[in-house]
Structure 1
Amino acid sequence: MKKPIRSLLDYLLLTILVSVAIILTLYFNGNKLFQQVVVIGLSILYIVWGILHHLKEKTLRAQIVLEYVLFGLLGSLVVIGLLK
């Protein structure tokens, strides 16, 4: 498979994961614990997705892993803070 198509499929998967997480968060509006689990789960999936994406592209470095971990953590903290 060509590189642009493979990257497009990677980003399509990420878009689907984020969309499902948003829908689940909105559907379970009254259940704060479940919403937090969904947000943390999405953050973990985002980190794993980023690592796998860069492994396939052969561009994985420690700085990139740290970036994904920090953005995942920051995103989770912001969203969970907004949900309270």
Structure 2
Amino acid sequence: MKKDKHIFFHYLSLFFLLSAGFILFYQNQGISKNQLTIAFFISFFYVIWGIIHHYLKGDLHWRIVIEYSLIAILAVILIRGAILR
């Protein structure tokens, strides 16, 4: 039960991280440079969160780090393409 509680708080922290990022992103509508910077920070902290989460779970491997990094890079590329067209 204790392990489930920790996992719940891990995902709760991810939810708040992404929510705060989306709110900041929305508040900076029309300022593409700020939105891109926010997207970089959200992606960076997403990768850090994934590394910490899997480290604490005990299943951190290079494949997981690469997976989180590639998802973050893809998200930034898509956001950049949508903002700076």
TM range (shorter): over 0.9
- In the aligned structure 2, how far is the partner of 1:33 from the partner of 1:75? 16
Could you tell me how far 1:28 is from its partner in structure 2?
0.8
TM-score, structure 2 as length reference? 0.93
Q: Identical aligned pairs, as a percentage?
A: 32
Could you tell me how far 1:53 is from its partner in structure 2?
0.2
1:33 correspondence with 2:33: yes
Letter in 1 for 2:45: L
CA offset digits 1:17-71 (Å, max 9, x no partner): 1111111111111211110000000000000000000000010001001001101
**Structure 1 residues not aligned, in runs of 5+:** none
TM-score, structure 1 as length reference? 0.94
- In the aligned structure 2, how far is the partner of 1:12 from the partner of 1:48? 15
1:58 correspondence with 2:61: no
| 1:4-83 correspondence runs (5 A) | 4-83=4-83
Letter in 1 for 2:72: G
Please provide the CA RMSD for this pair. 1.1
Letter in 2 for 1:75: A
- Paired residues in the alignment total 84
